[in-house]
């Protein structure tokens, strides 16, 4: 059982939790993720580790309430417990001094990009962050990224904050300004990572994307998370979660993410019917 | 029946017919997840036990990897001392209610049974299950007398059958034992792999609880190699370590279309249904595809478990597609038989060459080739050879690939001083199960590749003996 020590809403549907994780707080590295299960009847869902606090033997995770389980998670409060958390899973991000690096975060992906931006900054890179959201109130981590010395550019779909449009357009602007980008890491919705990779592919910029596929055990045992990279089947949980953005088969991954779309809808309707509380 | 009726001569014993296991009706059971085998009654168990001729040099015992004194426990059943029989089993087997259900007895103890030369062999597995279940039902689970603590600590990585077997034996020798498991429930393949209808999870829970009563501590959600290294465990004061991390990565066939929606590994399909209880969706949150036309590729126990699960999830057609003949299928004879009874179709001497999807990326058809058997291969089985031009199609909406597993490298990659072979399996001393790293032992599928519950448990037993010796010699 993992006690929730602190709950901080970051935007209307994105919530940050500091949660006890005595086996993970000192063994994780940026890029690692955990799998959590809220209660006995719950499913196992992966989430990237955003930070840790050794004083509390805790980690920070950030969830966007999209499906039933993440919505349920976001109803939990300080003092509540999450039944299971396992980690650190996946390979940590490869951190080195590339020169100029850009992390691109879409939605809750920005939270996941934060520890990686921090590590890249500490490795001596000149750092930019391009973060996107639908509207101003959904933009997260802007101050935190600025606080570690990252040049932050924002884009929103409705233009309520920063550039009106897509994060790829902001990346293009940056390149047009004459910034020589050596490395891009994109974390966000699949279409965003695909668009970023298309753009950087034309300019030969090394690009990693952090994939969020459906998982069960997260340790390589089931293969639910498989993805085709460079024509070969890879497991996101043990071979990833980060892959060369120019080599991922996004169409297949997009299809695979929709396998349970009907059941997910059914689960959500049941959850809402019960007043957003699982009995 | 009274114990006196057990005074039979050998001829009389041979004349007792073998007692059949009571089974749930096939038509009924193929629509539910309740146990298929319902167990022996006391009368059936006593009759079956009396078929054992109590060989002075029993040939069944060497066939048992965990060295159960088989004639002794059967004799106790014949004498109506069922609790005594269960205790006799537990002297050498930490999980008798599990083994009585899932061991391939025909290949282990019952294969060399002397009675079996003239008549059906004594149903040792059914008797083991009877005695273990009797103890569970009649509350004979009193505390086992333990020797004084040795002050030594052993860590077990992986709470599957190998690790639990080692844990039980080490605890009974007076050591402090901690078992780590990556999943949220202990049991390994007993939990995620073997379905409820063959091995109820309640039985797994009870037998693991019995180990906890011996003082074994179990820590779940602990992925050793990631959250801690083996050297960290030694630094924390563990004196020796057993690795039983099991069969890690599911094999796929490397043919087109394997990543289509609706194509599962057996591991994923079974883990969803067994560990995550997806068969109870939406009460449980984890979903599973309930196919109407399901093909399972493979002929082992996992293939049988998957195809029978698919049937219970509502498949109209549940097919085993296997590249050799029925006879060569490695699954337990009983599982093949039960699958047939439940209406599973067997398409043998057939191998898929590709899976074809619809416009939304869902599998809808598989292209197969007919096979014929050629010369024997290294396994001694005749090698399947494709028949040129024999291609044909099977309409499917779900495919489950059950063609074995490769080694999971998570722990061995984090422990470079453990020697592995070219397949990534840990190399061990065949007598002691010792790895190349001092104080570290290994067994089960991480060593063998793909084997059975009972072979893993045998490895755990051998390792426990060697770990005991190692720890008692070690100065700490």
Q: Of B137, B170, B185, which closes a domain? A: B137
Cβ partners under 8 Å of residue A48, min gap 6: A31, A32, A33, A61, A62, A111, A112, A187, A210, A241
CA–CA distance, B374 with B259 (Å, rounded to integer) = 31
**Which of B285, B406, B446 is the best substitution to test chain A (most A C-beta atoms within 10 A)?**
B285
Interface residues from chain A to B (CB-CB < 8 Å): 23-24, 27, 37, 41-44, 68-69, 83-89, 216-217, 219-224, 226-228, 233, 235, 238, 251-252, 255-256, 258-260, 263-264, 266-267, 270
Instruction: Assess whether B253 and B385 both reside in one domain.
Output: yes
Q: Which of B184, B228, B249 sits opposite A220 (nearest CB)?
A: B249
**Which of A20, A24, A220 is the best substitution to test chain B (most B C-beta atoms within 10 A)?**
A220
- Smallest Cα distance from A154 to chain B, Å: 34
Instruction: Assess whether B173 and B241 both reside in one domain.
Output: yes
Instruction: Assess whether B429 and B335 both reside in one domain.
Output: no
Instruction: Convert the pLDDT of each residue in A82-119 to its tens digit.
Output: 999 999 999 999 999 999 999 999 988 998 899 999 99
Is A263 in contact with B276 (Cβ distance < 8 A)? no
Do residues B128 and B89 touch, judged by C-beta distance below 8 A?
Answer: yes
pTM metric for this prediction: 0.94
Distances (CA, A) of B459 to A100, A209, B165, B355, B444: 53, 42, 8, 39, 6
| Joined tokens for residue B393 | 């199609």
- Smallest Cα distance from B292 to chain A, Å: 16
The answer as to whether B31 is a domain residue is yes
Can you give the pLDDT at residue A279? 41
Q: Of B137, B164, B197, which closes a domain? A: B137
The domain segmentation of chain A, as residue ranges, is 2-89, 100-210
Is B285 in contact with A68 (Cβ distance < 8 A)? yes
CA–CA distance, B39 with B110 (Å, rounded to integer) = 18
**Which of B160, B227, B445 is the best substitution to test chain A (most A C-beta atoms within 10 A)?**
B227
Is B249 in contact with A223 (Cβ distance < 8 A)? yes
CA–CA distance, B296 with B346 (Å, rounded to integer) = 10
Is B227 in contact with A69 (Cβ distance < 8 A)? no
Can you give the pLDDT at residue B44? 97
Q: What stretch of H or E contains A244?
A: strand A242-244
* b/e per residue A137-174 (b: at least 16 CB within 10 A): ebbbbbebbeeeebebbbbbeeeebbbeebbbbbbeeb
CA–CA distance, B297 with B134 (Å, rounded to integer) = 38
Instruction: Assess whether B397 and B272 both reside in one domain.
Output: yes
Is A224 in contact with B268 (Cβ distance < 8 A)? yes
The answer as to whether B302 is a domain residue is yes
Using an 8 Å CB-CB cutoff, list chain B residues near A263.
Answer: 281-282, 287
Can you give the pLDDT at residue B4? 63
Instruction: Convert the pLDDT of each residue in B299-337 to its tens digit.
Output: 999 999 999 999 999 999 999 999 999 988 999 888 999
Q: In whole numbers, what is the pLDDT of chain B averaged over residues?
A: 94
Instruction: Kindly indicate the confidence band of residue A187, based on its pLDDT and cuts at 50, 70 and 90.
Output: very high
DSSP string, A30-98: TT-EEEEE-STTPPPEEEEEEEEEGGGTEEEEEEE--SHHHHHHTT--TT-EESEEEEEESPPP-----
- Smallest Cα distance from A261 to chain B, Å: 10
Instruction: Convert the pLDDT of each residue in A131-172 to its tens digit.
Output: 999 999 999 999 999 999 999 999 999 999 999 999 999 999
CATH class label, A2-89? mainly beta
- Smallest Cα distance from B236 to chain A, Å: 14
- Smallest Cα distance from B298 to chain A, Å: 16
Is B267 in contact with A23 (Cβ distance < 8 A)? no
CA–CA distance, A160 with A164 (Å, rounded to integer) = 7
Can you give the pLDDT at residue A276? 56
Using DSSP's 3-state secondary structure scheme, residue A174 falls into helix
CATH 3.40.50.80 fits A100-210, yes or no: yes
Can you give the pLDDT at residue B2? 61
Can you give the pLDDT at residue A278? 46
ipTM confidence? 0.94
Instruction: Convert the pLDDT of each residue in B349-388 to its tens digit.
Output: 999 999 999 999 999 999 999 999 988 888 788 889 999 9
Do residues B70 and B53 touch, judged by C-beta distance below 8 A?
Answer: no
The answer as to whether B52 is a domain residue is yes
DSSP string, A89-153: ESPPP-----SEEEEEEETTHHHHHHHHHHHHHHTT-EEEEEEEESSGGG--SHHHHHHTT-EEE
Q: Which of A84, A216, A252 sits opposite B268 (nearest CB)?
A: A216
Can you give the pLDDT at residue A12? 85
What is the 3-state secondary structure of chain B? CCHHHHCCCHHHHHHCCCCCCEECCHHHHCCCCCCCEEECCHHHHHHHHCCCCCCCCCCCHHHCCCCCCHHHHHHHHHCCCHHHHHHHHHHHCCCHHHHHHHCCCCCCCCCCCCHHHCCCCCCHHHHHHHHHHHHHHCCCCCCCCCCCCCCCEEEEECCCHHHHHHHHHHHHCCCEEEEECCCCCCCCHHHHCCCCCCCCHHHHHHHHHHHHHCCCEEECCCCECCCECHHHHHHCCCCEEEECCCCCEECCCCCCCCCCECEEEHHHHHHHHHCCCHHHCCCCCCCCCCCCEEEEECCCHHHHHHHHHHHHCCCCEEEEEECCCHHHCCCCHHHHHHHHHCCCEEEECEEEEEEEECCCCEEEEEEEEEEEEEEECCCCCEEEEECCCCCEEEECCEEEECCCEECCCHHHHCCCCCCECCCCCECCCCCCCECCCCCEEECCHHHHCCCCHHHHHHHHHHHHHHHHHHHHHCCC
Residue span of the structural domain in which B57 resides: 3-137
CA–CA distance, B124 with A176 (Å, rounded to integer) = 78
Is A27 in contact with B361 (Cβ distance < 8 A)? no
- Interval A184-199 mean pLDDT: 96
> Number of Cβ pairs closer than 8 Å across A and B?
120
pLDDT over 80 at B455, yes or no: yes
The answer as to whether B146 is a domain residue is no
- Smallest Cα distance from B476 to chain A, Å: 26
Is A219 in contact with B259 (Cβ distance < 8 A)? no
- CATH code at B204? 3.50.50.60
Q: Which of A84, A222, A223 sits opposite B221 (nearest CB)?
A: A84
- CA-atom Rg of chain B in angstroms: 23
Can you give the pLDDT at residue B1? 58
| Joined tokens for residue A207 | 């690009």
Is B259 in contact with A227 (Cβ distance < 8 A)? yes
Q: Which of B184, B260, B409 sits opposite A84 (nearest CB)?
A: B184
Is B223 in contact with A219 (Cβ distance < 8 A)? yes
CA–CA distance, A84 with A60 (Å, rounded to integer) = 15
Using an 8 Å CB-CB cutoff, list chain A residues near B284.
Answer: 41-43
Q: Which of A217, A233, A256 sits opposite B271 (nearest CB)?
A: A217
Instruction: Assess whether B264 and B394 both reside in one domain.
Output: yes
C-alpha dihedral over B337, B341, B342, B343, to 10 degrees?
Answer: 110
CA–CA distance, A180 with B334 (Å, rounded to integer) = 67
Using an 8 Å CB-CB cutoff, list chain B residues near A237.
Answer: none
- CATH code at B17? 1.10.1060.10
**Which of A67, A222, A260, A270 is the best substitution to test chain B (most B C-beta atoms within 10 A)?**
A222
Instruction: Assess whether B304 and B397 both reside in one domain.
Output: yes
- Smallest Cα distance from B358 to chain A, Å: 11
Total number of domains constituting chain B: 3
The answer as to whether B336 is a domain residue is yes
Instruction: Assess whether B356 and B380 both reside in one domain.
Output: yes
pLDDT over 60 at B75, yes or no: yes
């Amino acid at each position: 059982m993992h006690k929730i020590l602190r709950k901080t809403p970051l935007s209307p549907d994105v919530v940050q939790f500091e949660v006890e994780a005595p086996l993970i707080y000192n063994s994780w590295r940026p890029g690692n993720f955990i799998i959590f299960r809220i209660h006995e009847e719950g499913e196992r869902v992966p989430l990237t580790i955003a930070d840790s606090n050794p004083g509390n033997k805790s980690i920070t995770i950030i969830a966007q309430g999209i499906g039933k389980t993440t919505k349920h998670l976001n109803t939990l409060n300080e003092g509540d417990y999450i039944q299971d958390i396992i980690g650190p899973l996946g390979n940590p991000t490869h951190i080195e001094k590339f020169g100029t690096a850009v992390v691109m975060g879409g939605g809750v992906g920005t939270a996941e990009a934060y520890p990686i931006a921090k590590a890249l900054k500490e490795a001596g890179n000149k750092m930019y962050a391009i973060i996107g959201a639908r509207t101003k109130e959904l933009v997260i981590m802007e101050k935190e990224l600025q606080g570690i010395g990252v040049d932050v550019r924002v884009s929103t779909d409705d233009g309520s904050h920063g550039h009106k449009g897509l994060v790829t357009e902001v990346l293009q602007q940056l390149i047009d300004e004459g910034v020589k980008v050596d490395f891009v890491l994109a974390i966000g919705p699949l279409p965003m990572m695909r668009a970023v990779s298309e753009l950087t592919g034309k300019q030969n910029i090394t690009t990693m994307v952090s994939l969020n596929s459906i998982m069960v055990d997260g340790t390589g045992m089931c293969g639910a998370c498989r993805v085709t990279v460079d024509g070969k089947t890879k497991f996101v949980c043990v071979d990833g979660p980060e892959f060369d953005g120019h080599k991922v088969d996004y169409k297949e991954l997009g299809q695979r993410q929709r396998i349970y779309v009907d059941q997910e809808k059914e689960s959500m309707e049941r959850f809402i019917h019960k007043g957003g509380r699982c009995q | 029946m009274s114990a006196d009726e057990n005074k039979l001569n050998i001829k009389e014993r041979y004349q007792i017919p073998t007692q059949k296991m009571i089974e749930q009706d096939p038509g009924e059971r193929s629509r539910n997840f309740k146990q298929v085998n319902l167990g022996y009654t006391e009368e059936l168990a006593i009759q079956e036990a009396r078929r054992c001729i109590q060989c002075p040099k029993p040939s069944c015992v060497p066939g048992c990897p965990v060295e159960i004194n088989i004639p002794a426990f059967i004799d106790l059943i014949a004498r109506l001392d069922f609790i005594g029989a269960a205790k006799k089993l537990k002297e050498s087997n930490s999980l008798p209610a599990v083994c009585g259900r899932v061991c391939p007895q025909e290949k282990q103890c019952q294969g060399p049974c002397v009675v079996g030369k003239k008549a059906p062999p004594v149903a040792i597995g059914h008797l083991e299950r009877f005695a273990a279940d009797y103890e569970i039902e009649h509350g004979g689970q009193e505390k086992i007398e333990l020797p004084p603590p040795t002050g030594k600590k052993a860590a077990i990585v992986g709470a599957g059958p190998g690790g639990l077997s080692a844990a039980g034996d080490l605890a009974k020798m007076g050591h402090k034992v901690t078992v780590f498991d990556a999943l949220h429930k202990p049991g390994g393949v007993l939990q995620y792999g073997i379905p409820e209808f063959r091995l109820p999870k309640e039985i797994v829970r009870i037998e693991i609880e019995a180990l906890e009563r011996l003082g074994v501590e179990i820590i779940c959600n602990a992925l050793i190699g990631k959250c801690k290294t083996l050297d960290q465990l030694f630094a924390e004061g563990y004196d020796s370590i057993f690795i039983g991390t099991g069969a890690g990565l599911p094999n796929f066939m490397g043919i087109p279309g394997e990543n289509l929606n609706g194509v599962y590994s057996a591991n994923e399909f079974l883990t969803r249904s067994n560990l995550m209880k997806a068969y109870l969706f939406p009460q449980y949150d984890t979903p599973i595809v309930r196919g109407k036309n399901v093909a399972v590729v493979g002929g082992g126990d996992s293939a049988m478990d998957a195809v029978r699960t698919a049937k219970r999830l509502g498949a109209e057609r549940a097919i085993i597609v296997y590249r050799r003949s029925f006879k060569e299928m490695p699954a337990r004879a009983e599982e093949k038989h039960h699958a047939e009874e439940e209406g599973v179709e067997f398409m043998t001497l057939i191998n898929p060459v590709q899976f074809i999807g619809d416009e939304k990326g869902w599998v809808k058809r598989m292209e197969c080739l007919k096979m014929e058997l050629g010369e024997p291969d290294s396994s001694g089985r005749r090698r399947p050879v494709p028949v040129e031009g024999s291609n044909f199609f099977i309409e499917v909406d779900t495919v489950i690939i059950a063609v074995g597993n490769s080694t999971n490298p998570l722990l061995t990659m984090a422990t470079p001083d453990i020697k592995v072979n070219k397949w990534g399996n840990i190399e061990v001393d065949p007598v002691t199960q010792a790895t190349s790293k001092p104080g570290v032992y290994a067994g089960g599928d991480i060593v063998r590749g793909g084997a059975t519950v009972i072979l893993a448990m045998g490895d755990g037993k051998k390792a426990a003996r060697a770990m005991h010796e190692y720890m008692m010699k070690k100065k700490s």
